[in-house]
Chains A and B, each alone.
Chain A
């Protein structure tokens, strides 16, 4: 056969080797672009930690004062002209933008409001308290008008009461109801689909559960609020139509796909040889599933529950719509309940940027972030270890 000519029409000597990377400047540019985009994206992702913490940090460090009566005395309205604009702005606690937008009459009005507020407030013995301090955030306090120490979340009142315990308990209550409802159902379904169901049924069930996962949480919230609440009230006959129980059930619907898919994955990853060995010893399919496969996949089941908890605690729209949103500290799941997520969702829009209310809501966000991030990490680690063990054992 004749020697075919070189495809490029040329046949460079080995000298071409020494052209080096300089030969392709555009590729170099493109690869640098990839690097820049990626590093930016990764930094942006890490900025989430930074920005949520940044807004919450002053509260954590105790640098926020939310006392209704501050040290500074209220000034009479006539003194308005003696202050220079910057002093006036600070006195009225306005942002630069707000200040620039206001005309003289509005400012005058604000001065009056401030004066009135100052005259009203000192009658309350709690007015000088910095309610954003840790002991008021977490501990009970006997507020004016209460007959005993209580945990109160009441940010929009003359005394800003910022006790976050009712919200934490609310989040836990709804999450626990959700898990009690979702875990048995999802685990049983995972066991059925992975071990017992005929394969053809499997092909129907899994897309069905994916469909459930695809329902937006606002729709689940709507369903809880409009359909489930009435139905459950008729069945159970409790007083408050919207409560932790209703929200928990609706929330459970959001958790089922999460728990199911992780548990099913863990159960499927148990090598077939395990259950085949059990079947060969004469156990039935359900015995193999219950006594061999499930124990081998227990860490995966645990991880599924942990990740399901993360989903439940962090869910917003469902609880915002179906839990009733009264920030009462009770242990009954049939009382109207307010969670951390719903509090942020309902109140943040009305807060002053950078104010104490704003910062305490960010503190709640940071807390949620930490809890869900850690529970995810835990779940993820457990799953990885389980998979490594099962693969090693094969």
Chain B
């Protein structure tokens, strides 16, 4: 039994290795995670010096002779090192994404399993609620929630988590509906296992493949939406080094020629989202070929 499982994992890893774009995505994500973990060690400067070093305001980076040594990507309007802020920003954005997707999974699994497993009226009520939340574009719903619970990074994470929950609930519900009809579940019920036991021991573990795939893809959009909220001034507040907020504070200076402060944070967002999308697509191809589009 144990050996069989091992070979299955081995096969999955083999299939993953052949998927070039998935490997590329994984590399990007790993680099990102390393930046986030090691930010204290690899960042050349303090991302939030206090008081701000205004005499260093909007200095260019390594490409120009006017640049400051030790600030390779230049400085922002408050004289802070753009590279250091991006590295610390990886920490902020990644953890924001993880927390948001975590909340979405928790809510989505709870409601999705309940709806799918128990069916009937419970299912109808939950799915109508899901329909209602789907009537809003995700970012708008997040903005609405932020209006009520207030602005700030942690609140933005909660808002995005709530917004993504219905999507997760739908995915889990449909996979629970499928698994519920399997014979081994019937067997479990026949031998008198409690609903809880059936759900946690058999239904949930077997519906994890789509959760992992969509969780990864969701992480990409969560990072994007978190940055969007930061950009709109509704998410992370200054001086937190968050990519979206960095953009919103810097883009008015492009008119005066300071392009770097608004360019690099965006590239960081783009590559994180790209990496997670590639990884998610790859995982989908490997774990669940039926989902392939």
Task: Check if A and B associate.
Answer: no
Q: Which B positions have Cβ atoms within 8 angstroms of A? A: none
Q: Which residues of A are in contact with B by a Cβ distance under 8 Å? A: none
